[in-house]
Amino acid sequence: MGISGSMIDKRVFNLSAKVGENHLKSECDYSKAQAVLFIDLDKLEPGEFITSLKQCLSYAIHWEVDFPSFSKACAPTFSEFDLELYLRSAIETFNRKPISFRTDKEKDEATGHIKLTGLKKENEEISHIVSAETQAKNWAEMPPNILSAEKFVSELKDEAKKLKVVCEVFNWESLKKKGFNLTCAVGQNKKNSYLVILKKGTGKSAQKISLVGKGICFDTGGLSLKTGNYMVDMKFDMSGAALVGATFFALAKTKFTPKHDLFALLTISENLIGSESIKVDSVLTSFGGQTVEISNTDAEGRLLLAEGISYAAKELKSSEIISIATLTGAVKYALGTKYAGAWTTSDLIWEKLYRTSRYTGDYIWRLPLDKIYLKEMKSQIADLKNAATTGAAGASRAATFLAEFREKKDYIHLDIANVSNTEDKAKVALAPLLKTLYFYTKDFMTKK
């Protein structure tokens, strides 16, 4: 399948390539083309297809892609809906300019741009998904002095009001009254701890799914202060909450009849340092009733998530809970920068989630949720401690800690710390797994 300018053709060329390789062939019989790019669709899965598509689009500054020709060339491997989803998402990623406050910006004509032509009418659902990816990226890239915890909550409330969906906001004082002692310990200055709950559904179903996102708008590590360059890019530590919020709003905009209920819980705070910062060796009683010894104040995200998970299980009566967070640096050592980590209490849930990720082209990999990891999380003076003394299997230990707060409900934890943003100088947010979360959650809400 070749793409060049607005021309797409399906011809047979004497080329061979492995997955991930690209051939650039010039001087072909295309009157308007300077170069033609080919993707071998034989047995190509969505993830590989999307990767190849993005690589192809990156070769030139300006492309025009004719959708009818593109769709015809790719049939019957992918449906028109799938192709529009993959293509528009890739184009939006390519065209999108990262958040910038430079005063010496290059002229727009010097930057790349891809134009999609021949699409009679944009699919509304796909528009919501693509917009959600952009929104999640914009939130994650915002400097922490601009998108503070308070500002993030304000934007969530405004969007909820616009869409006329239920939005509950609990501030530090109300959380303290409810017994969210772990959450309140992270935001000791009392100005930046929130729990935002968004709701969609019938309000009558016994089947409920909760998405719980970590929203640390900036993380200094607290008294366990991050050193060297480890504090750089901590604005991305709210990427989980950004994904949950953007996914929820996309589902709220999409027209479908839900049979079951969705709750989005965004645990939002800033892990700062000051005279009131929580001290190492402190012991706190969580919303769920477990006592937790604070052994590392830089393991703060799991404190917020733990109480978000408990609330989803105990108060909202969720039958399934998914947490998503930039939780551990350890997940990068386990999986590199391609696969997000996944832990779950249910093989059936994992099969559904993995199947969804294969469809959307996202990459996730299951890691063990084993009681053996809980041994290092046991405290001598409390039920649990929030960090182990060893860094070995750190991502799995964190997931095992969180699973202790699920109240025996079906549970998935997704660690995106290794895939939330690029590692180059641009430091661009990636909104990983958004499409997977969207379709998995929609399927849950519409199943019989």
Tens of pLDDT along 173-227? 999 999 999 999 997 878 899 999 999 999 999 999 999 999 999 999 999 999 9
Average pLDDT, the chain: 90
Using H for helix, E for strand and C for coil, what is the string for 111-139?
CCEEEEECCCCCCHHHHHHHHHHHHHHHH
140 shares a domain with 69: no
User: Is 92 a residue whose pLDDT tops 80?
Assistant: yes
Tokens of 62: 């300006």
135 shares a domain with 47: no
Q: Could you tell me which of 262, 261, 267, 260 has the C-alpha nearest to residue 287?
A: 267
Q: Could you tell me which of 394, 413, 242 has the C-alpha nearest to residue 312?
A: 413
293 shares a domain with 194: yes
Q: Give catalytic status of residue 397 as yes or no.
A: no
Q: How far is CA 187 from CA 237, 268, 271, 276, in A?
A: 15, 9, 6, 9
Q: What is the pLDDT of residue 40?
A: 66
Q: What is the pLDDT of residue 436?
A: 99
Q: What is the pLDDT of residue 76?
A: 81
Q: Reduced to 3 states, what is the DSSP secondary structure of residue 382?
A: coil
Q: What is the pLDDT of residue 26?
A: 42
Does residue 219 lie in a domain region?
A: yes
Q: Which of 43, 76, 95 is the last residue of a domain?
A: 95
User: Is 22 a residue whose pLDDT tops 70?
Assistant: no
> For the chain, what percent of residues have pLDDT higher than 90?
75
Here the CATH number for the domain that contains residue 300 is 3.40.630.10
Q: Which of 199, 214, 302, 435 is catalytic?
A: 302
Does residue 333 lie in a domain region?
A: yes
Q: What is the pLDDT of residue 37?
A: 59
User: Is 28 a residue whose pLDDT tops 50?
Assistant: no
Q: What is the pLDDT of residue 27?
A: 43
Q: Mean per-residue pLDDT for 327-339?
A: 97
Does residue 126 lie in a domain region?
A: no
Lowest mean pLDDT among 271-280, 306-315, 320-329, 429-438: 271-280
Lowest mean pLDDT among 48-57, 163-172, 284-293: 48-57
Q: Could you tell me which of 316, 360, 281, 366 has the C-alpha nearest to residue 81?
A: 360
138 shares a domain with 87: no
308 shares a domain with 164: yes
420 shares a domain with 366: yes
Q: Mean per-residue pLDDT for 379-391?
A: 95
Which amino acid is it at 51? Answer: T
Q: Which span out of 21-30, 183-192, 314-323 was modeled with the highest average pLDDT?
A: 314-323
User: Is 373 a residue whose pLDDT tops 80?
Assistant: yes
Does residue 118 lie in a domain region?
A: no
Does residue 121 lie in a domain region?
A: no
95/83 Cα distance (integer angstroms): 18
pTM: 0.92
Q: Give catalytic status of residue 96 as yes or no.
A: no
367/281 Cα distance (integer angstroms): 30
90 shares a domain with 136: no
Q: Which of 72, 157, 226, 317 is catalytic?
A: 226
294 shares a domain with 189: yes
Q: Mean per-residue pLDDT for 367-388?
A: 97
Half-sphere exposure of 360 (CA within 13 A, CB side): 24
141 shares a domain with 38: no
* Residue 67 near residue 382 (C-beta atoms within 8 A): no
Contacts of 369 (CB under 8 A, 6+ apart): 343, 344, 345, 396, 399, 400, 403, 413
Tens of pLDDT along 237-267? 999 999 999 999 999 999 999 999 999 999 9
**Secondary element (H or E) of residue 373:** none
Q: Which of 41, 68, 95 is the last residue of a domain?
A: 95
Based on the number of CB atoms within 10 Å of its own CB, is 309 exposed (0-12), middle (13-18) or buried (19 or more)?
buried
Q: Reduced to 3 states, what is the DSSP secondary structure of residue 340?
A: strand
Q: What is the residue range of 86's domain? A: 2-95
Q: Mean per-residue pLDDT for 85-102?
A: 93
Tokens of 409: 């409900």
Does residue 306 lie in a domain region?
A: yes
Q: If you search the block for the tokens 């190509």, which residue do you land on?
A: 44
145 shares a domain with 91: no
Does residue 117 lie in a domain region?
A: no
233 shares a domain with 163: yes
pLDDT confidence band for 19 (50 / 70 / 90): low
Does residue 385 lie in a domain region?
A: yes
Half-sphere exposure of 445 (CA within 13 A, CB side): 25
**How many domains in the chain?**
2
138 shares a domain with 68: no
Tens of pLDDT along 36-84? 656 666 667 888 888 888 877 777 667 788 899 888 888 888 899 999 9
Q: What is the pLDDT of residue 314?
A: 98
User: Is 8 a residue whose pLDDT tops 50?
Assistant: no
Q: What is the pLDDT of residue 9?
A: 39
Q: What is the pLDDT of residue 7?
A: 37
CA angle 51, 52, 58 (to 5 degrees): 90
Q: Which of 50, 70, 95 is the last residue of a domain?
A: 95
